[in-house]
Amino acid sequence: SPRDKKYKRILLKLSGEELMGTEGFGIDPKVLDKMALEIGQLVGIGVQVGLVIGGGNLFRGAALSAAGLDRVTGDHMGMLATVMNALAMRDALERSNISSRVMSAIPMSGVVEHYDRRRAVRFLNSGEVVIFSAGTGNPFFTTDSAACLRGIEVDADIVLKATKVDGVYSADPKKDPTATKYDRLSYDEVLDKKLGVMDLTAICLCREHDMPVRVFRMNKTGALLNIVVGSNEGTLIEE
Ligand code: UDP
């Protein structure tokens, strides 16, 4: 029997790195299939899912710039990388019979549709997974900011940020054995303690618009579904 859902509409942010599996670059279709399955469970209990996927498995503007490329060009490449990831995710979702759409902040006629908030909300209401790609469409931003922006725009109940660690810690748990996990943090604590969960633009945007963020570990099986039915996985960031 379907469990009671806590959220009607979520914005899930996946980093590009989540898609590469055990490889150091690119996309692992097996990982995508597993994610599609987990997203399908949410759709199955009637949760509306907006998705933002990063591009760090392919290109990051800052890294390209450090290697000598023009920063804005590098950011454009990073945003295009997110479109590739979105196409791969749509493919995996549709193979699992989950209707989905890719919208892009950068018009790319014939490949994906251009982002339009009202259309996005209509698709979400009709139960389609909407993948928001090309970030915000602007250089010098990240897909964390894009996730928070789209989440706020489409009036999601929460932004769920999937990471490699199971929440926000006082220090890097891989380097510092005394690091402790926070169950809850305020936006100001994240900023004051310089916790580096998300970039500052993203946190400020959420604080300004009262958008809660939950940071959790995606490759822990069932974590996503648990959160959506109300369990306290990971760390909640709110007022
Ligand atoms: N990017 C950008 N503007 C945006 C979102 C992303 O310029 O609004 C570029 C930026 O170069 C970034 C890259 O796209 O490094 C990939 O996104 P991100 O680093 O956020 O991916 P993730 O770390 O989540 O995989």
Q: Is the pLDDT assigned to residue 173 strictly greater than 50?
A: yes
CA distance 50 to 129: 6
Kindly report the pTM of this predicted structure. 0.96
| Ligand 1 pocket: which of 35, 51, 143 to mutate (most atoms within 8 A of CB) | 143
Share of the chain above pLDDT 70, in %: 99
Output the CA 229–ligand 1 centroid distance in Å: 30
Residue identifier of the C-alpha nearest atom 14 of ligand 1: 78
ipTM: 0.98
Share of the chain above pLDDT 90, in %: 87
Q: Are 94 and 39 in contact (CB under 8 A)?
A: no
For residue 14, the cross-strand partners are 53
The minimum-distance atom of ligand 1 relative to the CA of 17 is 25
Say what the pLDDT of residue 1 is.
43
Q: Are 16 and 237 in contact (CB under 8 A)?
A: no
Dmax over Cα atoms in the chain, in whole Å? 55
